[in-house]
């Protein structure tokens, strides 16, 4: 594998959180379209393996960068590394994410801070840094992965849902800013997806897959990339996800109160 990637064919795509789940599937889908890749994750072994496998399978050049994107300096460090290697990014995919259940008052401050850095600060700054070049070249695409949870505030995922709601709003504003320069921004908002994001002791992922209430990462990625290259502003993959988004908007607040009292992932009321 060479030490640098030069923009050939459809250009280079940078994908964060690319060693597994939706991120890995997005990287594979981009490679199928002929994009060379820059894949980013804090997991050195898996991200290197992903880069090698995708490059071999699709005949593209892929490079792995190991970096903890939950650190305040991460966006600047990643941008500097990409510049150092002489790479020009044509497609930016902000996908990296984490998840946990629990009430705000019970959250570990370090864990909450890491989530906010990863979901809010780093993707925002990556957009600032990388879209400057896209704007100057008057071409480029940005995919920001939000979540169905951005449609309704749910107890037990206040940090997660609020950060994903931020990403949805950020994507809308960024799209308005960049569209006049020929740069598109798409927000992908998946519902429940069968990935390692969830703790299997809390969320029955295998059962969700069997019942069809959890989408496969590859299906989410395929829908997201189709939306990205069609220039869509926002996309909820799957009919069930779209129905749940509508339901989330329409559900009465008293139902949310009942959820709070009976949700198995929250502290029992009265204790």
CB atoms within 10 A of CB 86: 11
Q: What is the C-alpha separation between 267 and 269, in angstroms, rounded?
A: 6
Q: How far is CA 245 from CA 191, 192, 241, in A?
A: 9, 12, 6
Would you state the structure tokens that stand for residue 89, as one six-digit string?
Answer: 């990014």
Catalytic-role residue among 79, 159, 160, 198: 160
Would you state the structure tokens that stand for residue 124, as one six-digit string?
Answer: 């925002």
Active site residue 160: yes
Task: Name the strand (E) or helix (H) holding 142.
Answer: strand 140-145
Q: What DSSP assignment string belongs to 83-119?
A: HHTT--EEEEEE-------S-GGGS-HHHHHHHHIII
Q: What is the C-alpha separation between 158 and 155, in angstroms, rounded?
A: 6
Dihedral, CA atoms, 127, 133, 139, 145, nearest 10 degrees? Answer: -10
Q: What is the C-alpha separation between 74 and 68, in angstroms, rounded?
A: 7
Instruction: Give me the sign of the Cα torsion angle 177, 184, 158, 71.
Output: negative
Catalytic residue numbers?
160
């Amino acid at each position: 594998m060479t030490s640098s990637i030069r923009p050939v064919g459809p250009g280079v795509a940078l994908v964060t959180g690319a060693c597994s789940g939706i991120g890995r599937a997005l990287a594979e889908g981009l490679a199928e379209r002929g994009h060379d890749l820059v894949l980013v994750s804090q997991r050195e072994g898996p991200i290197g393996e992903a880069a090698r496998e995708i490059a071999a399978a699709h005949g593209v050049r892929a490079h792995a960068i190991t970096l903890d994107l939950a650190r305040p300096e991460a966006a600047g460090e990643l941008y500097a590394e990409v510049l150092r290697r002489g790479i020009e990014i044509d497609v930016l995919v902000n996908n990296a994410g984490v998840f946990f259940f629990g009430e705000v008052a019970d959250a570990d401050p370090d864990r909450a801070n890491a989530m906010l850095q990863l979901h809010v600060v780093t993707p925002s700054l990556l957009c600032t840094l990388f879209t400057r070049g896209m704007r100057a070249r008057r071409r480029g695409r940005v995919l920001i992965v939000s979540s169905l949870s951005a449609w309704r505030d749910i107890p037990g995922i206040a940090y997660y849902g609020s950060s994903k709601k931020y990403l949805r709003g950020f994507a809308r504003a960024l799209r308005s800013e960049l569209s006049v320069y020929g740069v598109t921004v798409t927000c992908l908002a998946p519902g429940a997806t069968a990935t390692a994001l969830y703790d299997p002791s809390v969320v029955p992922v295998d059962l969700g897959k069997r019942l069809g209430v959890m989408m496969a990462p590859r299906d989410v990625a395929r829908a997201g990339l189709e939306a990205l290259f069609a220039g869509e502003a926002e996309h909820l993959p799957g009919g069930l996800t779209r129905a749940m988004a509508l339901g989330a908007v329409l559900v009465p607040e008293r139902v949310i109160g009942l959820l709070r009292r009976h949700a198995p992932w929250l502290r029992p009321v009265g204790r």
